[in-house]
Amino acid sequence: MEEKAFIEQNRKDVDLYAGVNDPVEILKIMHKPRKYNPLEHEIPYHKTAQEMYHQLTESERERLETYAVVLMEEDDFDQAETILLSLACFSSARIERGLEAFYRNGKYYPSILFKEAGQDIRDKLIHQLGYDSANRNHLLLALAWIGDEVVVRQFQTWRRHPPGWAAELNVPPETYAHEAGWELDNEGRKRLLFYPESYHFKVSGEGKDGLNRAASAVAALQAGEHSCPWCDSKLTVLFDYNLQNPLVQFMKLPGQWLRIAACMHCNCYGTVFMNADLDGRYSWSEYNAVPDFLPENEAMEELSWRTMQLSERQMGAYDNAYWMLEAPASKIGGHPTWIQDAEYPVCPCCSVTMKFIAQMDMEQAEESEGIYYAFLCEACLKVAVNYQQT
């Protein structure tokens, strides 16, 4: 108690950003690791790192990339990695020099860094696959993220004629494309598994009552009228799409409403499918099977969330695709923020991989954890929801 009182009496505010106006220098301060000092309270900058990266000019992005290369030369790969990831995801910058330094140091992960890699690195990765068994998983992931015409043709070839090293993998080589949000269709063409257009939800208040359904392109976290057959909890409408709103016209769905419902309890233990139509109706799918592990739902409290409002500003497709950057992740469209491995459900009717359409970050919605992911099969009007957490 004496120590706690001493800390409270002697703790001082420290503003590391006082007098610093250069965005690059501000981001350097944000990224620099610091030891915890109980007698210091660091005043956070008034913008997040994500917001700062959004506003960088081309020359400022180049300066940060150069700084990341210098950090790697000094063996500070953690800080360099965070900067390169932020540039790649938040600003969609081409980080060719940083990537070359990353590759020279035998670094192939996080593989999302390679999404804008040029042909020189691509060809080296393909060649390296033949002999580097220790890094083969990461090399395949890096190639999947490059995903250009050469990579697509290479994955086609491997699907038709699996190389000898493919026997050492747990899945066929072309399956790695799922981690980068695409797959080979039956004709061997590249099929995206998400919409490049993306809009983020922001917190606009507290409480369970969401925004007026008609006022937003997509309303979130609303009470459903049906109950879960497994646990008897009320279903939650995670996303309620007004398909006539111009903001969601990129989905090219006819009709008026698309409602994506989930059981906030049972969905934590497996994928749940729903039948849907484009007039706002939904029902429990006959294809659902009770998960092997499904604990009893013990008198769940009435759920209450912050009010989430969809922003009308379009974001980058990969803006929060890497979860360890800790950016708020509730959104429609864009690449999923997988916490674990990519987990695209297969439509139980037509056996086609379902398309990712939205996700709800529960840390943003209620200071909980985990993300609920929503998927759609446009042909069969089946929706699915699954969940991941650390």
Residue the block writes with tokens 């400022």: 60
Q: Quick one: pLDDT band at residue 297, thresholds 50, 70, 90? A: low
Please report the pLDDT score of residue 300 as a whole number: 54
Please report the pLDDT score of residue 196 as a whole number: 97
pLDDT of 33 over the 50 cut: yes
pLDDT tens-place string over residues 310-321? 999 999 999 999
Q: 147, 161 in Cβ contact below 8 A?
A: no
For the chain, domain boundaries: 2-90, 108-192, 198-388
Sign of the C-alpha dihedral computed for residues 65, 66, 69 and 74 taken in this order: negative
Q: Which residues contact 283 (CB under 8 A, 6 or more apart)?
A: 226, 274, 275
- Coil, helix or strand at residue 265: coil
Task: Give the up-direction half-sphere exposure of residue 26: CA atoms within 13 A in the CB hemisphere.
Answer: 22
CA distances from 79 to 28, 33, 84, 337, 340 (A): 9, 8, 9, 21, 22
pLDDT tens-place string over residues 59-84? 999 999 999 999 999 999 999 999 99
pTM of the model: 0.93
Q: 23, 56 in Cβ contact below 8 A?
A: yes
pLDDT tens-place string over residues 193-239? 999 999 999 998 654 444 455 568 999 999 888 999 999 889 999 99
Structure tokens at 21: 């106006």
User: What gap in Å lies between CA 105 and CA 81, rounded to an integer?
Assistant: 12
Tell me what the mean pLDDT of segment 90-108 comes to.
93
Please report the pLDDT score of residue 150 as a whole number: 97
Lowest-pLDDT range, 8-17, 127-136, 178-187? 8-17
Structure tokens at 20: 């610093």
pLDDT of 352 over the 70 cut: yes
User: What gap in Å lies between CA 174 and CA 260, rounded to an integer?
Assistant: 30
Please report the pLDDT score of residue 11 as a whole number: 86
Sheet with strand 331-333: strands edge to edge? 282-284, 272-276, 382-388, 371-377, 355-361, 331-333, 198-205, 307-315
Name 259's bridge partners: 240
Tell me what the mean pLDDT of segment 182-198 comes to.
97
User: Which one, of 194, 182, 195, lies nearest residue 152 by Cα?
Assistant: 182
89 CB burial (10 A radius; 0-12, 13-18, 19+): buried
pLDDT of 305 over the 90 cut: no
Please report the pLDDT score of residue 215 as a whole number: 67
Q: 269, 291 in Cβ contact below 8 A?
A: yes
Q: Which residues contact 35 (CB under 8 A, 6 or more apart)?
A: none
User: What gap in Å lies between CA 390 and CA 373, rounded to an integer?
Assistant: 15
Q: Which residues contact 272 (CB under 8 A, 6 or more apart)?
A: 262, 263, 266, 285, 288, 384, 385, 386
One-letter amino acid identity for 243? Answer: L
Q: What percent of the chain has pLDDT over 90?
A: 82
Q: 155, 177 in Cβ contact below 8 A?
A: yes
Q: 201, 220 in Cβ contact below 8 A?
A: yes
Please report the pLDDT score of residue 210 as a whole number: 44
When the pLDDT of each residue in the chain is averaged and rounded to a whole number, the result is: 92
Q: Quick one: pLDDT band at residue 92, thresholds 50, 70, 90? A: confident
- Coil, helix or strand at residue 107: coil
Please report the pLDDT score of residue 213 as a whole number: 55
Please report the pLDDT score of residue 214 as a whole number: 54
Highest mean pLDDT among 35-44, 320-329, 335-344: 335-344
Tell me what the mean pLDDT of segment 338-362 comes to.
97
pLDDT tens-place string over residues 133-165? 999 999 999 999 999 999 999 999 999 999 999
Strands (E), the chain: 12-14, 40-42, 182-184, 190-192, 198-205, 218-227, 234-242, 257-262, 272-276, 282-284, 307-315, 331-333, 355-361, 371-377, 382-388
Q: 201, 221 in Cβ contact below 8 A?
A: no
Please report the pLDDT score of residue 205 as a whole number: 61
Q: Quick one: pLDDT band at residue 302, thresholds 50, 70, 90? A: low
